[in-house]
Amino acid sequence: MTRLGRVCGLETEYGVTSVYISSDSGSPEARSEARSESRSEARAGNRSEAHAEEPPLSVEEAVKKIFASTERAVRVPHGFLSNGARLYIDIGAHPEYAGPECLDLEDVVAQDLAGDAIIQDLVDIANAKLLNRGMRIHALKTNADSWGNSFGCHENYQYGANTPISIPSFVSFLAARQILCGSGCIDEDGRYCFSARARYITETASADPTHHKAFINTKEEPHADASLWRRLHVTCADSAMLPVTVALRTFLADRFLSLLEGSAAGDFIVLDDPVAAVKTWNYEPNARMRGQRGEAAVEVSCPELMRQSLDLFPADDDEFGLRDVAERGLAALSEGNLAAVSSELDWSLKYQLISHVAAGETDFGGARARRADLVFHDLSKQYGLRERLLTSGNVKSMVDGSTISLAKTVPPANTRAALRGKVVEACDLAGRRASIGWAYVRLDQPPTPQIDLLNPLESESAEVTQLLEKIENLPNVQNK
């Protein structure tokens, strides 16, 4: 196991669309492709609704269909699952999976993929019911939609309340990491860039992530004992399809935070304008941006800044060779060899895919390239690409299918997610209602005192054990 220096949890928002699958004039696949391509053209700038077939279901209707098969608990705020995660509908009708607290890197990856699988399971159930209506829903782990809305992955990193963290240093690091760990994107002009969300970042930090797109959310919500813990809420990351990208993104942030906690990053370059840097590097990673190293003014490229952080990392357990992946990814950026790490990093694989599909087109703005962009993010085993690539060995896997299946129902064993998950499972079996939060559990039927879970590293609790015994001895009732 690759142990992290802190508890970490990922939140992923998903895009949803629907398509027609039957037509007198063609096969289901042809009709679906025609609709997807016309929508892609609209996204490229052709906003004429007369030429873009509308989906059969609105986003709100499609999301409602997805969640119709779930228990009531996950259709309202604080809908927690037996694996310790939270599943709900976020602002803008986005299904969101907020994974449980993880202390091991393998759990971070397994839970991220488990979230994808849980969402797709619900989509499959909904689609079975929609088949006779000639329509199908697709869930997309993408980072923006046709109307210019940005969504993706938020990361949560716990650290000590009395530990000083240099936000300027960390944000500068994030600006470079955004490119290395981006999902790849085709912009409105058909140009390829490395990060879908970099284009939307407007601030270094903000307390309002809904209206301000920043690297970091500064709102104080530790979800723990505030005298002991803080939660660093990183809001800029691209959602990733490839397991190694997910792992690398977390590994780099965790190790860099350890440097900051230990005051070992004192001479790290701080960018003068991280927002301008990430937008520039998104197209030209070797562009030189201004910064400060101590009292000295310097200029630095994205690969140079990220290599500086890697050089500061101590030699430690890196059984997956993530540091080597980072080095090869940075070399690919420096040399402009965008397909060099296509088995590991999202932006590289997507570039290789789109380059193949768009062969003969003058740029990536055409319908074929844009449709390939969307298919890359499709969670479906039938219509998406990831499952086939993993099975064929063209994409490196970090956890196997059985581990992902287990993570759908079983929480990490070494964080408080284990306690939360056990209470959820017990209440499900007994048909009892409970109020569950990140930092508390409370049985509501019959009412019992709240049990606080203020230490994210706490995986055992005498109070929770007593509550579980009480629930087990209650008569089963219908949860209404």
**CATH number for position 334:** 3.30.590
Which pLDDT score, from 0 to 100, does residue 314 have? 87
**Which positions of the chain have pLDDT values less than 70?**
22-53, 71-78, 145-148, 362, 478-480
In this structure, the answer to whether residues 202 and 85 fall within a common structural domain is yes
Which pLDDT score, from 0 to 100, does residue 38 have? 31
Over 197-245, what HEC string results? CHHHCCEEEECCCCCCCEEEECCCCCCCCCCCEEEEEECCCCCCCCHHH
Task: Note down the domain range covering 162.
Answer: 3-407
Residue 480 domain-assigned (yes or no): no
Which pLDDT score, from 0 to 100, does residue 362 have? 67
In this structure, the answer to whether residues 340 and 373 fall within a common structural domain is yes
In this structure, the answer to whether residues 456 and 313 fall within a common structural domain is no
Residue 91 domain-assigned (yes or no): yes
In this structure, the answer to whether residues 374 and 456 fall within a common structural domain is no
Q: Which residue is it, tokens 């070992």? A: 264
Q: pTM of the full predicted structure?
A: 0.91
Residue 63 domain-assigned (yes or no): yes
Q: Are 302 and 177 in contact (CB under 8 A)?
A: no
In this structure, the answer to whether residues 318 and 383 fall within a common structural domain is yes
Which pLDDT score, from 0 to 100, does residue 87 have? 94
Residue 412 domain-assigned (yes or no): no
DSSP H helices, 223-301, are 243-261, 274-281
Which pLDDT score, from 0 to 100, does residue 208 have? 81
In this structure, the answer to whether residues 403 and 427 fall within a common structural domain is no
In this structure, the answer to whether residues 341 and 238 fall within a common structural domain is yes
Residue 479 domain-assigned (yes or no): no
Q: How far apart are CA 20 and CA 31, in angstroms?
A: 7
Domain boundary among 407, 427, 448: 407
In this structure, the answer to whether residues 193 and 287 fall within a common structural domain is yes
Q: Which of 175, 327, 323 is nearest to 247 (CA)?
A: 323
Domain boundary among 387, 407, 427: 407
In this structure, the answer to whether residues 326 and 374 fall within a common structural domain is yes
Domain boundary among 407, 425, 453: 407
Q: Which of 89, 97, 81 is nearest to 11 (CA)?
A: 97
Residue 430 domain-assigned (yes or no): yes
In this structure, the answer to whether residues 111 and 81 fall within a common structural domain is yes
Which pLDDT score, from 0 to 100, does residue 148 have? 65
* Helix, strand, coil share of the chain (percent; to 5): 40, 20, 40
Q: How far apart are CA 243 and CA 24, in angstroms?
A: 40
Which pLDDT score, from 0 to 100, does residue 476 have? 82
In this structure, the answer to whether residues 253 and 232 fall within a common structural domain is yes
In this structure, the answer to whether residues 82 and 227 fall within a common structural domain is yes
Which pLDDT score, from 0 to 100, does residue 32 have? 39
Quick: pLDDT tens for 428-456: 999 999 999 999 999 999 999 999 999 99
Residue 478 domain-assigned (yes or no): no
Number of domains in the chain: 2
In sequence order, the β-bridge partners of residue 192 are 186
Which pLDDT score, from 0 to 100, does residue 34 have? 33
